[in-house]
Amino acid sequence: MQLIIDTAGTIRCIYGEEIDLTVLGQVSVRRASSVEPDEHGLWWADLSPVSGPVLGPSNCRSQALAAEVRWLGDHWLISPNQQEEPCDRRSPF
């Protein structure tokens, strides 16, 4: 899990269960996307909650989830307005 900490101490990440985020302070989780099948059984990742695109179609849910995580990591996790380089440290937890 990659944690991005800004100069105000706000932490951003793509939610996962690798660590208990509550140990870092108050947690606020918001939905970044939805991954759903269409009427043909193809999977789509809709990133409109974070002003992103709709990705797909994918043949299986795991492919759509992987595309979702890639897009969020490349376009949402690090704010384009952020001036500092991210610190990509692996959590010891």
Report the mean per-residue pLDDT for the chain: 86
Three-class SS of 9-68: CCEECCCCCCCCHHHHCCCCCCCCCEEEECCCCCEEEECHHHCCCEEEEECCHHHHHHHH
The verdict on residue 35 lying in a domain is yes
The pLDDT value recorded for residue 78 is: 80
Domain membership flag for residue 89: no
Between 41 and 85, whose confidence is greater?
41
What predicted TM-score, i.e. pTM, was given to this entire model? 0.77
In a domain, 12, yes or no: yes
Q: What is the largest CA-CA distance in the chain?
A: 46
Residue 83 pLDDT > 60: no
Q: What is the C-alpha separation between 43 and 58, in angstroms, rounded?
A: 5
What total number of domains does the chain contain?
1
Structure tokens at 33: 């996307």
72 within some domain: yes
Q: Is residue 81 part of a domain?
A: no
- Residue 9 structural domain: 4-76
Amino acid at 18: E
> Residue 24 corresponds to which tokens in the numbers above?
């870092």
